[in-house]
Structure 1
Amino acid sequence: MLTALRSSMATRLSALPRDSRDTLFLLVVIAWVVLPQAGNLPLWCSLLAVGVLLWRARLALAGAALPGKWWLLGLLAATVAATLFTHRTLLGRDAGVTMIVVLLALKTLELRARRDAFVIFFLSFFTMLTNFFFSQSLATAAAMLVALLGLLTALVNAHMPVGRPPLRVAARTAGRMALLGAPIMAVLFVLFPRFAPLWGIPGDAMTGRSGLSASMEVGNVASLALDDSIAMRVRFEGAPPPQADLYFRGPVLSSFDGRQWRPLYPRLGQRPPTVRQGPGQLQVFGAPVRYQVTLEPSSRPWLLVLDAAAQPPAVPGFEVFATGELQWVLNRPVTDLLRYSAESHPQYRHGPPGSAAALPPDYRELPPGFNPRTLQLATDLMRESKAPPEDKAALVSAALNRLRTGGYTYTLEPGVYGEHTADEFWFDRKAGFCEHIASAFAVLMRAMDIPARIVTGYQGGEVNGIDDYWVVRQSDAHAWTEVWLAGRGWIRVDPTSAVAPGRVGAFQRLQAPRGIFAEAIANVNPGLALNLRAAWEAMNNRWNQWVLNYTQSKQLNLLKNLGFASPSWEDLGLLLIALLVAGASLGAAWAWWERSQHDPWLRLLARVRKRLEDQAGLQLPASCGPRHMATQVTARFGPQGRGLADWLLQLEAQRYARVQRASLAALQRDLQRLAWPT
């Protein structure tokens, strides 16, 4: 039945007039170009594009007339108003892309002549490029390569006005054009200077996503939906640390108003922490762990590094600052794929080891009127503790023991918390995800006069067995606490590991829901699903490393390898110009050689025809052969043209006679001595 339906559709399409067939093909290509933008466009714009393309396809199938200009003007005015209402502007990336898609869809309703088709072609090329404003992934690039071939096919087909040429003929020509242009594009990609920060398109509204945020509001999320997208990739030099020790440090939150945790301000711009006295004191021990991070766009200025990095990560093109809380930040948000090198020491001591008076009071402050039962719990724990009052580590252990034995659970659906979030966690719900647990634990620590703060970042990850990169996902986003103990400084305490040990390390990684197709493969063959995912992510990583992360520094390193002592972007430009000139010269040489290889017999005949036209005024068609030309010369010039006519007959014999009586070189010499009729 499916075969019969397909055959019926093919028969119906082949019976359509050429204009209708070409229009339908172009509409399919336009739909393919616009489809990846569906998630970035307003809903009304996507529906409008679908509706207009279907309307235009129906008109093409029916051979009906196109709508009048008043219809188009009305639709255009409505869409401009809708764009202005949605984006509050007609400028910028999001509004501009919306208008481009609208104009492309509406222009198909004016597709009457080849001129209209050419406008649609080049508008489609521009729309195709706008897909890279939102995503530069390997999947987007592959989809746009298909779109490029489709648009080139439609463009070549439009230049075949005679007859009904099959689309596969135009597709072969388009494929050859793409292959011929690929070397030029490769040279331009490698050598065209990249002027940071102009290279790349930053988002208008900071649209990049991250599992982290600049603040943490506890209890306002009823359920946590896991995002399985990749946050960063890490490659270690040598053996990596144990998975349970992979804490990638992000924003540090130290100010609490009863509901929301925020960073301490101002802290940006401090010098890197040193061993001198002060809140930023850092001592490191043992051998460092060296690694490279490929960070996905987050539209945030944070650098994710393992605890603890004493030196700023090497980030080309950015200035790196320390916050004084072991967090590293950049001078501008990360709006594109970013690769940097870092060095961390898993064994370290941070913070003044002496008196807590050296710390800002923010680390012990709690807002009045919040969490009274937690405050009472702190009093009870301190009263029940048999350790000396100055032994704060015993109080930390007591709180962790309560988490282990008190029936607390880790869940992604804790429901919405009320005003006293710590009270609800410790006494009522006894359930939450890492932010609830970390916040409640930090509040309890401060209630016992122990300085505490919350650190957010990523914990764990999984190694890709194909390329040996560690993949850290948004679902690995985590929150833990740090407490200050006399003589030891700031100590990491992860209360989530006391509630759910499997959440930390290699035991149980959080998994986002799979799609239908992926779920089906996983049910049939779980190993195959994991291998396919690893292979795809390894391909994406290669794309990221070699294409998206091909920066100006890599260009300059290429010039160093070519022998340039101190290369600059001017050297890149000169090398590019030299290669283009060399390529143009080779192309000219090829054209000259190809022209010289044309049939010399035909070139000699064409020269005679041209001379008869210029000197004697005899108009002869390009298809005229030697015998017909001789007849015309005799008829026009009589006996005066007999010598040229005989020469033409000899030229014919040289080509077609079984026995050649004269060589082509001899005929060329005879032609030079021949008297021409006038």
Structure 2
Amino acid sequence: MRKPARAAAVDPRSLPDTARAWCLAASFACQLPLLLQLPGWLGLAVGALAAVVAAIAWKRRLPAPLRAAVALAAVGLVLAGSGFSLGRDTGCALLAAMLAIKPVELFSWRDARSLLGFALFAPFATFLLDQGPLSLLLGLAGALVALAALWRLAELDAAVPTEPLPPVQAVGRRLWLVGRLALVGLPLALAAFWLFPRMSSPMWGVPERAIAKPGLSGEMGPGDWLDLMGDDSPALRARFFGPVPERMQLYWRGPVLTDYDGRRWSRAEWTQGLPPAEVRVGGPVWDYELELEPTDRRFGVTLDLPLAEPDGTRLGHDHSTTSWRPLSSLRRWRLQSAAPAAYETELRPMLRTMALRLPAGFNPRTIALARQWRAEAGHGVAADEAVVQRFNDWVRSDFAYTLATNLPGRHAVDEFLFDEQEGFCEHYAGAFVVFMRAAGIPARVVTGYVGGYYNRFGDYWLVRREDAHAWAEVWYEGRGWVRADPTAAVAPERIYDTIANLSDDGGAGLRGLADMWDVGDWMRRGWNDFVLGFDATRQRQLLQPLGIRDLEMHQLIVLFAALAGLALAWMLWLVARGERERDPVLRAWHALGARYARLGLAPAPHEPARDWSARVLAARPQDTTLATLSARFSDWRYAAHPANPAAARTLILDLHRYRPAETSR
């Protein structure tokens, strides 16, 4: 029996438009999730560059000097966008830019495969910047399109005849087939995710980002917080076990700023090595779980005041939390906090001096007024409280809250208190502490977040980055540090009101929008819990419901090997069971035989096509079309003739279209 003649190979130096279109589509699909993670203008610029390059490359071949100039321009654009700082996001942006201009070299089959191989790096680079569900879905879609493009390139290169289908249906069918192949490997991937032994810390570090994600820092200066307070992305989520504090008690403590140089506040790093100050609990203890979104900084946030440091962090003398490593991935902490009845009642002389220090030559009007109020109030704890109350009354009556402020001059506090009298928490907290220190009252700035939004679907509190806040602490004899928030005196609604308040008063429309937001954020939290939060500790506790408290490393290895072996065996069984004839003409012929099998006239494995059709015609004389199809199939299969893809496609279409009647005449 003679084998069918193989189709002639396509000229390797030429690339058909069909192959070029598949390559460009796959390149864009792989690049899309990465572009969405770049800064807005940079992502748009790289995307526009990709579109222009693809359009030009489709029409003509650019000369080598022009290609080099385009590459240099793309590199310059990315470096300028990142401030010429090297980091993780800069490297990913460079990869996106290089992928955008890669189509200028799309001329041959080798170029096409090179482009697709390079494009597959883009979805993986996306996960260095974001591990959210949208990035995963877009990355998977891009990888599937790239694999489908590689499949189509192989068919075109070998001149394999394909079933004649409309373009949209053909693309959908190809993607479906590639998706089915990917699903075959899903059990093995799940076994690796759940059971492959994880380490509590990575073996290597991921480079820092050149453009850090917004988050709390160890400094506060004029205008520093405007970007942070304009960002409505989540900063943290908290779920309480037992009693829940009132919203006005939700002060999330971050870095404490003590040093002041006349313009900027900063942390006193040397105090972080001291043991935490003594706290006497004065109210209920809040038991809660905190989920922190990535920030690429080391400053943690806890409900004021934490009673112990979370895992992987240290608790400073001022009860601020600092992580040993940058918080560049999702963190989940189980904590306890309580409002203090007394907090550091004995203040060391060095710490007292630091909490009263003011730079010389700054804010003379503020210092003069503070000393005047101190002289009028006298001395003692009651006098200190009177000065604080008088300052809050002044703010409440004469000041206003706004984010639209001017950059201050040398005497920033003087300008704020006596000239502008408008600002936000950064201004109020800083001016308050300067005033109290000038009045002889130890004081410091505390930064963090305040308030929160209750998600009723997930039963947790959501705090956004725009909830960033700065308040103050003053020290009273016998009581220690006490919270004082001058911003709450001028604009309490800015601190405590959320969309929940608005939706209660705004009707069903706003309530519906709030519900949609709640469901979306609840789903994101579920993703964080189910995927991103699955670390080495949770892996060891995976079988707790079955009574196995803590899996050891060797047990995980055995479980993984067993399940991986089962998954591989299942994959091999599926491949053996579902192995199909690669030739589309034979597949169409076998499908026709399967249709006759339902009528009890299946072809025998050893039966030639003409003999089988004769047997069918003896039982069903009306099926004359089958005789014609079997003759055409036999001629195509065994007759000596040059390869004719057009004739093969016509035969495939006729075989698929033919349907025998269910009953004979």
TM over 0.5: yes
1:247 paired residue number:
251
Q: Does structure 2 conserve the Cα–Cα contact (< 8 Å) formed by 1:27 and 1:57? A: no
Q: Give the distance between the partners of 2:478 and 2:406, measured in 1 at CA.
A: 40
Q: Give the distance between the partners of 1:245 and 1:546, measured in 2 at CA.
A: 30
1:283 paired residue number:
280
Q: Does structure 2 conserve the Cα–Cα contact (< 8 Å) formed by 1:352 and 1:358? A: no
> Structure 1 pair 71/577, CA: closer, same or farther in 2 (3 Å)?
farther
Give the counterpart of 2:32 among 30, 35, 58. Answer: 35
Other structure's SS at 2:273 match = coil
1:83-138 Cα offsets, whole Å, 9 max, x none, are 77887999863454344334433432333444333222222111121111111122
1:310 paired residue number:
307
1:575-599 Cα offsets, whole Å, 9 max, x none, are 222222223334445666779xxxx
Q: Give the distance between the partners of 1:365 and 1:150, measured in 2 at CA.
A: 63
> Structure 1 pair 115/568, CA: closer, same or farther in 2 (3 Å)?
farther
> Structure 1 pair 409/56, CA: closer, same or farther in 2 (3 Å)?
closer
Give the counterpart of 1:158 among 131, 153, 178. Answer: 153
CA RMSD across the alignment: 3.8
> Structure 1 pair 545/159, CA: closer, same or farther in 2 (3 Å)?
same
Is 1:400–2:397 an aligned residue pair?
A: no
Q: Does structure 2 conserve the Cα–Cα contact (< 8 Å) formed by 1:219 and 1:418? A: no
Name the amino acid aligned to 1:401: D
Is 1:548–2:532 an aligned residue pair?
A: yes
Q: Give the distance between the partners of 2:116 and 2:341, measured in 1 at CA.
A: 61
> Structure 1 pair 95/398, CA: closer, same or farther in 2 (3 Å)?
closer
What is the deviation of 1:18? 10
> Structure 1 pair 587/175, CA: closer, same or farther in 2 (3 Å)?
closer
Is 1:233–2:237 an aligned residue pair?
A: yes
1:332 paired residue number:
325
What is the deviation of 1:471? 0.6
2:184 paired residue number:
180
> Structure 1 pair 491/77, CA: closer, same or farther in 2 (3 Å)?
closer
Q: Give the distance between the partners of 1:594 and 1:35, measured in 2 at CA.
A: 34
Mean CA deviation greater in 110-119 or 123-132: 110-119
Is 1:51–2:46 an aligned residue pair?
A: no
Other structure's SS at 1:527 match = helix
Query: Whose relative contact order is higher, 1 or 2, with alpha carbons under 8 Å and at least 6 apart?
Result: 2
Q: Give the distance between the partners of 2:452 and 2:270, measured in 1 at CA.
A: 32
Give the counterpart of 2:116 among 98, 121, 145. Answer: 121
> Structure 1 pair 565/283, CA: closer, same or farther in 2 (3 Å)?
closer
What is the deviation of 1:571? 3.2
Give the counterpart of 2:199 among 157, 170, 195. Answer: 195
What is the deviation of 1:653? 11
Q: Give the distance between the partners of 1:207 and 1:227, measured in 2 at CA.
A: 15
> Structure 1 pair 33/281, CA: closer, same or farther in 2 (3 Å)?
same
1:244-393 aligned within 5 A: 244-271=248-275, 273=276, 280-313=277-310, 315=311, 318=312, 320-353=313-346, 357=349, 359-385=351-377, 391-393=383-385
Identity percentage of aligned residues: 30
Name the amino acid aligned to 1:187: A
What is the deviation of 1:145? 2.9
Q: Does structure 1 conserve the Cα–Cα contact (< 8 Å) formed by 2:87 and 2:207? A: no
> Structure 1 pair 301/81, CA: closer, same or farther in 2 (3 Å)?
closer
Q: Does structure 1 conserve the Cα–Cα contact (< 8 Å) formed by 2:344 and 2:480? A: yes
1:422-433 aligned within 5 A: 422-433=413-424
Give the counterpart of 1:568 among 542, 552, 559. Answer: 552
1:421 paired residue number:
412
Q: Does structure 2 conserve the Cα–Cα contact (< 8 Å) formed by 1:203 and 1:335? A: no
Other structure's SS at 2:236 match = strand
Give the counterpart of 1:130 among 125, 128, 133. Answer: 125
Name the amino acid aligned to 2:438: A
Other structure's SS at 1:413 match = coil
1:369-396 Cα offsets, whole Å, 9 max, x none, are 1111111211221233377687322222
1:495 paired residue number:
486
1:437 paired residue number:
428
Q: Give the distance between the partners of 1:87 and 1:475, measured in 2 at CA.
A: 24
Aligned residues, how many? Answer: 571
2:8 paired residue number:
none
> Structure 1 pair 362/91, CA: closer, same or farther in 2 (3 Å)?
closer
Name the amino acid aligned to 1:373: R
> Structure 1 pair 624/233, CA: closer, same or farther in 2 (3 Å)?
closer
Q: Does structure 2 conserve the Cα–Cα contact (< 8 Å) formed by 1:24 and 1:57? A: no
Q: Structure 1: any 5+ residue segments left out of the alignment?
A: 1-16, 274-279, 512-521, 596-622, 630-648, 659-678
1:662 paired residue number:
none
> Structure 1 pair 55/431, CA: closer, same or farther in 2 (3 Å)?
closer
> Structure 1 pair 343/223, CA: closer, same or farther in 2 (3 Å)?
closer
Other structure's SS at 2:457 match = coil
2:171 paired residue number:
167
Give the counterpart of 2:516 among 532, 550, 571. Answer: 532
Q: Give the distance between the partners of 1:169 and 1:105, measured in 2 at CA.
A: 27
Query: Which of these two proteins has the greater Rg computed from alpha carbons?
Result: 1
Q: Does structure 2 conserve the Cα–Cα contact (< 8 Å) formed by 1:207 and 1:299? A: no
What is the deviation of 1:221? 7.7
Q: Structure 2: any 5+ residue segments left out of the alignment?
A: 1-13, 580-603, 620-665
> Structure 1 pair 449/261, CA: closer, same or farther in 2 (3 Å)?
same
What is the deviation of 1:341? 0.9
Name the amino acid aligned to 1:119: S
Name the amino acid aligned to 1:399: F
Q: Does structure 1 conserve the Cα–Cα contact (< 8 Å) formed by 2:53 and 2:100? A: no
What is the deviation of 1:339? 0.8
Name the amino acid aligned to 2:213: R
What is the deviation of 1:146? 2.6
Q: Give the distance between the partners of 2:417 and 2:501, measured in 1 at CA.
A: 24
Name the amino acid aligned to 2:281: V
> Structure 1 pair 88/308, CA: closer, same or farther in 2 (3 Å)?
closer
Q: Does structure 1 conserve the Cα–Cα contact (< 8 Å) formed by 2:377 and 2:383? A: no
2:140 paired residue number:
145
> Structure 1 pair 93/529, CA: closer, same or farther in 2 (3 Å)?
same
Q: Does structure 2 conserve the Cα–Cα contact (< 8 Å) formed by 1:453 and 1:482? A: yes
> Structure 1 pair 464/125, CA: closer, same or farther in 2 (3 Å)?
same
Name the amino acid aligned to 2:539: Q
**TM-score for the superposition, normalised by structure 2:** 0.76
Name the amino acid aligned to 2:208: D
Q: Does structure 1 conserve the Cα–Cα contact (< 8 Å) formed by 2:26 and 2:142? A: yes
> Structure 1 pair 240/210, CA: closer, same or farther in 2 (3 Å)?
farther
Other structure's SS at 1:383 match = helix
> Structure 1 pair 109/347, CA: closer, same or farther in 2 (3 Å)?
same
Name the amino acid aligned to 2:388: V
Mean CA deviation greater in 456-465 or 282-291: 282-291
Q: Does structure 1 conserve the Cα–Cα contact (< 8 Å) formed by 2:352 and 2:442? A: no
Q: Does structure 1 conserve the Cα–Cα contact (< 8 Å) formed by 2:315 and 2:322? A: yes
